[in-house]
Structure 1
Amino acid sequence: MSLIDDVLICTQRMNPVTDASLSSPQSVDRQYKYLKPSVFWSIRQGFPRRLSALIVMISLAVPLLLWSLISYAQVVPPMFLPTPTAVVQSGIEMFINNDLISDVLTSCGRVLAGFVVAALIGVPMGIAMGTFYSMESLFAPFVGTVRYMPVTAFVPLIVIWLGLGEESKILIITLGVVLYNAIMIADAVKFIPSEMINVAYTLGATRRDVLFRVIVPATFPSVLDTLRVNISGAWNYLVIAELVAAQTGIGFRIIQAQRYLQTEKVLFCILLIGLIGLAIDYGLKWMSAVLTPWADQTRH
């Protein structure tokens, strides 16, 4: 049995549920109050999979239906809102004639590189800020100030510092994500009950044991959730990064199509980024369910 399991067991023993609390007048009154069963509004009590799939289909079909009605009826000129058919046809043309698959791979590589660097910096910084008051005093003023500065304002400086190569694009994506990783993970560490740490010390743990065998395992599910949420920010900063003298990438294709008022190509590239992001999100959810099955009992 690991140290964190021992800590959890001892924490539960320190806060037992007594028979007196169960036999109090308030509990007696509450046991006769029953909630009416509800499918849609039940709180963490599961949901039928078929109904969930139906709601997902409706949530996707309604915007598509509205888009089709407005565009095919030409309520809005095609230059502003092309039809779904025109968007799909332009996408097929871009894959065949413009080698869009190469742009997709290039953009994915940039996002991956920038996001990995942001994770390697932000995750340890967040754990340190949430664990040690000294590290919070050291990093919090810097992080709290810089995170309000727009990354786009640093683009001219980044070009001067690193030039127009891939390094500047990766740095822009990293700067857009790294501080949010640190802040969210630091908050997750602070939510660890103090009783767990005190029990670990009682069992003879050192500071190193508390950090690596209590705090890090307890924070790991929140780290995965933080990375899953903030990877969307990496894709948002991709277009800004590919403004820096890029000749390839999905963001470059969007900017190029914008210059020639090719709205259907712009929409297709935006939808393509959304699909890639959705696939990444579900992939990280699956990874979180596999690596941390204890973190969310509703997954089962």
Structure 2
Amino acid sequence: MRLRGRRGSRNIEDRRGRGGGGAAGGLGVAGVLAVLAIGYFTGIDVTPLLQGQDPFAQGGETRAPTPEEEEAAQFASRVLATTEEAWAQIFPDQLGLEYDPPVLVLFSGRTQSPCGGASGATGPFYCPADGKAYLDTAFFATLSRQLGAKGDFAAAYVIAHEVAHHVQDELGILPEVNARRQAAGERQANALTVRLELQADCLSGVWASHVESLLDPGDIDEALNAARRIGDDYLQKRAGRTPQPHTFTHGTSEQRSRWFATGYRSGAVRDCDTFAATRL
């Protein structure tokens, strides 16, 4: 993705360097993040793999970001700016509305949100209580080195996906689905969550279609590969389990990549109605 010389977003809240991270069970931080990412995307209890230790125990010290963390933060800021520009155009053109962008909180190790504590265990997420997306930039390394989703556009897709949840919040979709999930049983709630996540994948594709002038050859393939690598079925197999569809919360690899591709091909929000779709 061609971001050199592009502006960064002002909607960044930088909490990096507040508290420390470490190693657990000899895995090292990268290995720990890989295990926690699998747990996040699959709902599998990964505590035994971490031997009961907290790899992100927070101390009182502060530290300067590493060069790799600083590069990741600048990248995230520039990607966020592209989402602001794209959705600021899409909202009035397609929806007749004005877009209010989210804040992206960058942290290292652990932080707090109104939706609960954020750490490598939670993975990137959007909190509707404060309208902010949360990202430990170390997740980019996990995505590339441990999950096999390489390339800068794979990382950009992760950011765009969390911004897409904010888009759902702006459109009233997220609060409606949350209310329906609270009133539903576990299986039905999971099924609703899958539709919500696949819609966010599709909306990520809509964003990608509106930043096509910034894309390098192969960028869309990187995003599609990332979508496949974080499918529920793929991650459950990776964790040594037989995929159990009733436990899925994000969708299969095929579904995630197909819905991203749908949004990218059409560039239209109307084509991302996963809740009306008979086939996911």
Structure 1 length as normaliser, TM-score? 0.24
Larger strand share, 1 or 2: 2
Higher Cα Rg, which structure = 1
Greater relative contact order (Cα 8 A, min sep 6): structure 1 or 2? 1
Structure 2 length as normaliser, TM-score? 0.25
Larger helix share, 1 or 2: 1
